[in-house]
Amino acid sequence: MASHADKRRAVLTGSLQPSRRMRICDVGASRLSTPPYQGLLDDGLAHVYGFEPNEAQFAKLVETPSEHETYFCEAVGLPGNRTLYIHPTAGFTSLYPLDERAVRAIGKQKWLSDKIEAVPLTPVTLDTLADLPPVDLLKMDLQGGELEVLRGGIAKLSSAIAVVSEVRFHRIYAGEPLFGDLDAELRAHGFKLHKFMFTKSVMMPHEHEDQVVRPKLTSQLLDGDAVYIRDEETAGLSDDQLMHLAFAADTVFDSPDLALHCIDHLIARGAAPADLPADYIARFRHHQRRDGAQQEG
């Protein structure tokens, strides 16, 4: 049975017809979980260009390839001889080594390991890859290397409508940029902070952990996923950009109000049917609709 999200997306994508598929660039594309854009891939509305330097994780990506997926076994970063630190837990693999002092400061020394494999490599930049077209949506989860991706992708991201990136509030890798650094860079690229998809916090270590409920005492912000969108008047976006932003808002980062904002502008241009907002809202959950809220009240 189709979920609320599937039904909502079907109404939107059935009415909006961009001239081409959305181009999604996923840097750090290992399939540790289902990517948030999976629905758009399943519907044939997007093409993902994924980057994963860990050969074991890359092999999983290409086990069942589709015509809407292109993967590169490459690290994305600034040029030069670098090292990939492959952690036994794939989610900790990074171009940056773990910062032992910072990790111990939050009581997470279990993340340290003597089985980390150091592999030399030379990263690529997005702008130097001829096989990568201009990007509409950039997703990043590469444990500290996000700033390097942006600085090496100025041309490929020049018309992108959104960036979804992991951001760090407490450093766990030596020399990694923190949220403020990434925020400043994205703003310099013409993006604004739209929302946090989630944030994670940890409990500060103390001598009384056996007397407290850990999940209720996680006060130290650690990291999360932030969404940035193009910071310009909506009227300045093309029809394709508005449609792709509506798709991303609906499916990738769950901002149906932003999708409706895009739809309004498309209707004004004659690029979307006038009854689309009503059909779209009808697929919202009850608590998101005025008629549904009244029924529940």
Residue 295 is predicted with a pLDDT of 44
Please count the other Cβ atoms lying within 10 Å of the Cβ belonging to residue 209: 11
Q: How far apart are CA 138 and CA 131, in angstroms?
A: 16
Residue 104 is predicted with a pLDDT of 97
Residue 66 is predicted with a pLDDT of 87
What are the strands of the beta sheet with 22-27, ordered from one edge?
69-72, 46-51, 22-27, 137-140, 162-168, 220-230, 191-202
From 230, 153, 232, 148, select the one nearest 182 (Cα to Cα). Answer: 148
**Positions in the chain whose pLDDT score sits under 50:** 293-297
Residue 1 is predicted with a pLDDT of 66
Residue 297 is predicted with a pLDDT of 35
What is the pTM (predicted TM-score) of this model?
Answer: 0.94
CA-CA distances (angstroms) from residue 153 to 127, 129, 148, 156, 194? 5, 10, 9, 5, 21
* Element containing residue 253 per DSSP (H, E): none
Q: How far apart are CA 260 and CA 116, in angstroms?
A: 47
Residue 76 is predicted with a pLDDT of 96
From 69, 9, 27, select the one nearest 252 (Cα to Cα). Answer: 9
Residue 68 is predicted with a pLDDT of 94
Give the whole-number percent of the chain exceeding pLDDT 70: 97
